[in-house]
Structure 1
């Protein structure tokens, strides 16, 4: 059974040829954060309201994401703009905790947050939902907001991060679609 079809949309893909003024090992001074962004889309077998209920419950992300776990809203917080949550992340054998702030909470339509907070965050994650047939087209976007050495110090480092995160999103969307299909058949 086919669970999902991913549509890839990226601000920059590995096939893009670098200009003569740009090299793979450029330092921060030559890089632009907005070059590092992507969007992935998938159709899932659930109404937008149900999908929103799941994705805005940040504690559920570990069901689908290969890189996130132990995610929870702060005490008395929830999927409301301005509220905060923490989570554990994994990549390349390393683990760390992040703090994120909800920046969009439109039930049934969109949910977004910024790692590090709205004012000085480093990465923006956003989910948008659109009804299609009996299901929903789920769009998940990732965008680097500012450069930080913790993410890498060259274009090669940031391209690797971009590829890693895009793969993670594809795995997450596939797992979400499968989970929803199984939920529907229970």
Structure 2
């Protein structure tokens, strides 16, 4: 990823893609199981479905507990905004109409396996990162850049864990 000098209001994005030697159905089992995601992430500590939901569907909500060395611990509520089995799974963090972030997995059958992409967009709603920007507005572009790089590293590791599990 190159330095873009993006500000939070620009709604910057990051995307990581990998190819997995497993059919989309197997990969889908892993990416659509949000309660299993903490095993694949250094930052995400736990996930639980809310409002009686037992799994993903558009409008279903889940709470995620996170931990970051510099940002501390926090909990978010996310709403599933796209759910197309074996193709797309996406959720908005915070208010789905003004999310602090949107995350998405996209699957595509390719070369006898599955191309898997994980994408995220910051903003436009406030998030934990907004607090750091409020405290140091002159460093906003650096704060955004560093966080995007952290997301990119975390997403790369998550996709590698998914690849290993799907191919096992």
TM range (shorter): 0.7 to 0.9
**Matched-pair contact (CA < 8 Å) for 2:98–2:125:** no
Report the Cα distance in structure 1 between the residues aligned to 2:52 and 2:21, rounded to whole angstroms.
Answer: 31
Report the structure number with the largest CA radius of gyration.
1
> Retained in 1: the 8 A contact 2:8–2:123?
no
Q: In 2 relative to 1, CA 119–35 (structure 1 residues): closer, same or farther, beyond 3 Å?
A: closer
Q: 1:164 aligns with which of 147, 150, 155?
A: 150
After TM superposition, what 4+ stretches of structure 1 lie above 3 angstroms from structure 2?
none
- Deviates further, 72-81 or 169-178: 72-81
Matched, 1:141 2:119: yes
Deviation at 1:148, TM superposition (A): 3.2
Pick from 131, 134, 139 the counterpart of residue 109 of structure 2: 131
Alignment partners' CA distance in 2, 1:61 and 1:32: 26
Q: What 5-or-longer segments of structure 1 have no aligned partner?
A: 1-9, 23-30
TM-score (norm 2): 0.85
Alpha-carbon deviation of 1:66?
1.7
CA apart distance, 1:44: 1.3
RMSD: 1.9
> How many residues align structurally?
158
**Post-superposition offset of 1:35:** 4.8
Gaps of 5+ in 2: 134-139
Counterparts of 1:90 and 1:57, CA distance in 2:
20
User: Which has more helix, going by share of residues?
Assistant: 2
Map Cα deviations across residues 81-129 of structure 1 (whole Å, 9 max, x no partner).
Answer: 0110011112125221111000000001000001103122110000100
Q: Which residue of 1 aligns with 2:81?
A: 103
